[in-house]
Structure 1
Amino acid sequence: MNTPLRITAFAAVLAAAFGTAYGVGGVADPIRTTVEPAAHAGHDRAGESEEGEPDQRADEDGSAPPSGLQISEGGYSLDLETRSVPAAKESEIRFAVRDSAGRKVTDYRREHGKELHLILASRDTATYRHLHPTRDSGGTWSVDAELPAAGDYRLFADFTPAAKGASDLTLGADLAVSGRYRPASPPSVSKVAEVDGYKVALEGGMRPGVSGRLDLTVTKDGRPVTDLQPYLESYGHLVALRSGDMAYLHVHPNGAPGDGKTKPGPTVSFTATAPSGGTYRLFLDFKHQGKVRTASFTVDAGETSKALAGSSTAEESGEHQH
């Protein structure tokens, strides 16, 4: 995996007014939303310049939408075999990636130790999972997951086919979770997320079309954490989801373990570009003392990018699930 939120207000109003149960029948194909062109969308590879400052260049040719909005791209399609699962019950999710001839893909490039990374997030972004499914010899991927709340979820498959000329892809599809739907409350305003006794402070922000630096500093009991452990070959992984349409960005850190200059904390730095203005949810995965935890934030990617809100996800890793 190389390197990053659909409108929920209407559903929230309906649920509040009618107290409806979220019933699951056939699930339609994902809505193909028209969005602004992306700058470093999906796998955000913007790094630092030779002088150590964020690279300010951004792609502005409008050639592609942000990642995760499409179920098919570049001759590949996401075939989601499991269209719905019940809430609060461990269920198997099955899917495949098919090429332009309809064949299931069985050959991938390994990125950060895995052939494919799977992200699951509810449209209200209250629930987030970073999963690593297994693939059988026929090309079908599967993973067990327990999603706590009913509602609409977005599934993102992040991968690179091994075929010559294939590029990094993030394909998205909708997953319905049945049960009684209760919209989540918005996160409280803060620049600090707390999870399992850890505090993660966010400095910096995101601006449309311009690379910006994000520094996330991890402390515990008031002390800097200077012995972060590599997780999937990095000291941290950052995923950003755009509010409204769930456009996806997966952003990797500046530097890597063992490169001779990157320290194992307390700060993990990223460079990211927002494909447009708006509100984004950021999810940082980090590993310490053998456990993976997720800290989550809300960022307003306006011109000044100063509005920040923070919250936490205290769900620990279990089979790469946080």
Structure 2
Amino acid sequence: MKVPLKLGLFGVGLAALFTASFATAGAVVPSQTTAAWTQPTEEHVMDSNDTQLAASVKGLSMEQDGFLLGEISSPGLADQEGTLAFTISNATGTPVTDFEASHDKKLHLIIVRTDGTQFRHVHPTMDAHGLWSLPWKWNAAGSYRVYADIVPTATGQNITLTRTVQAAGEFTPATPAPLSAADTVDGYDVDLVGTLSTSEQAMLTVSVSRDGEPVTTLQPYLGSYGHLVALREGDLAYLHVHPEGEAPRPGAVSGPDVTFMTEAPTPGRYLLYLDFQVDEQVHTAQFVLTATGPAQSADPGEPAEHSGH
């Protein structure tokens, strides 16, 4: 057989093969999906609103705005005493030492196991070389998310960086917490009023009581009468929650109510942790709420252990 004829028959065979394959794909995959495969790529690029909304979700990357949360050293085993330490570097790899105070501290370190348990909010100290550290012991084995909430002086903008740390040992998984707007901690009853929404700022008011009586001796803690952290269940994206009202004067007391404002980026379950102080003791109440409304960003994905968003 001549070469041109062979090539012609080969081309006809390929055309038939691709036609059959595409027809089979249409039978297995929904027609709208196969149609999307043939659309111009420009139609799949996020618009500016999507990009801004995705960027507003914090606490999913170890790098943001040119600042990098370095590798975290910590005890390798649960119940082992040691030190937790890390640096935050700039785009040139130099450890950063200049930070602005936010809520009375230059760095807020939030640590929680990836199942939402073992929450801690602590404040390490920084040496002259930019090394942050504090004595540390993991109370239980598991995988932990560590968040550094900072305001670098170079930008004056608040950012939240995160990494995952493993603590070896016998692991006991926790069952998912049920929805709850009330908690009892150290003899205090804490109730939360309000709903999370993806379409508008939500007002959340917590009320503290003890033995059925309102607590009116809440002390200032981190620039307010309470500090609230909200994490999206699943990827543990970090929400910024802002206390309402004027900053309290030193020595002032208040209560029983503390109000916060926040907005959820996507519908779903959120884990909330409230720190409040009475008689120089800090207590932590926990809640689980569901945010309602349309999604405001693309698929949140998994937490990234690489730079970028």
Superposition TM-score, scaled by structure 1 size: 0.72
Match of 1:150 in 2: 141
Given the superposition, is the C-alpha separation of residues 88 and 99 from structure 1 closer, same or farther in structure 2, using an over 3 Å criterion? Answer: same
Given the superposition, is the C-alpha separation of residues 103 and 184 from structure 1 closer, same or farther in structure 2, using an over 3 Å criterion? Answer: same
- 8 Å CA contact 2:178–2:288 kept in 1: the answer is no
Bigger proportion of residues as strand: 1
Match of 1:232 in 2: 222
- CA RMSD across the alignment: 2.3
SS in 2 for 1:80: coil
Among 95, 107, 110, which residue is 1:116 paired with? 107
Among 194, 200, 213, which residue is 2:184 paired with? 194
Match of 2:256 in 1: 266
User: Counterparts of 2:247 and 2:98 in 1: how far apart (Å)?
Assistant: 27
C-alpha displacement at 1:249, in angstroms?
1.5
Among 228, 235, 238, which residue is 1:248 paired with? 238
Which amino acid letter does the alignment assign opposite residue 135 of structure 1? M
Among 167, 171, 182, which residue is 2:161 paired with? 171
Match of 2:128 in 1: 137
- Point out where structure 2 has 5 or more consecutive residues left out of the alignment: 1-45, 295-309
Match of 1:183 in 2: 173
C-alpha displacement at 1:63, in angstroms?
5.8
- Point out where structure 1 has 5 or more consecutive residues left out of the alignment: 1-35, 40-58, 305-322
Which amino acid letter does the alignment assign opposite residue 138 of structure 2? L
Bigger proportion of residues as helix: 2
1:74 partnered with 2:65:
yes
Structure whose alpha-carbon radius of gyration is higher = 2
C-alpha displacement at 1:253, in angstroms?
1.1
Match of 1:51 in 2: none
C-alpha displacement at 1:138, in angstroms?
0.3
Alignment of 1:49-68 (within 5 A): 61-62=52-53, 64-68=55-59
Match of 1:221 in 2: 211
SS in 2 for 1:181: coil
Given the superposition, is the C-alpha separation of residues 233 and 267 from structure 1 closer, same or farther in structure 2, using an over 3 Å criterion? Answer: same
User: Counterparts of 1:171 and 1:294 in 2: how far apart (Å)?
Assistant: 23
- 8 Å CA contact 1:84–1:175 kept in 2: the answer is no
Identity %: 41
Match of 1:90 in 2: 81
Given the superposition, is the C-alpha separation of residues 106 and 214 from structure 1 closer, same or farther in structure 2, using an over 3 Å criterion? Answer: same
User: Counterparts of 1:116 and 1:241 in 2: how far apart (Å)?
Assistant: 18
SS in 2 for 1:240: strand
Match of 1:15 in 2: none
Aligned length: 246
SS in 2 for 1:124: coil
User: Counterparts of 2:178 and 2:81 in 1: how far apart (Å)?
Assistant: 29
Alignment of 1:97-108 (within 5 A): 97-108=88-99
SS in 1 for 2:102: coil
Match of 1:42 in 2: none
1:126 partnered with 2:120:
no
C-alpha displacement at 1:258, in angstroms?
3.7
Greater displacement, 278-287 / 141-150: 141-150
Among 268, 277, 282, which residue is 1:292 paired with? 282
Higher relative contact order (CA 8 A, sep 6+): 1
Given the superposition, is the C-alpha separation of residues 258 and 65 from structure 1 closer, same or farther in structure 2, using an over 3 Å criterion? Answer: closer
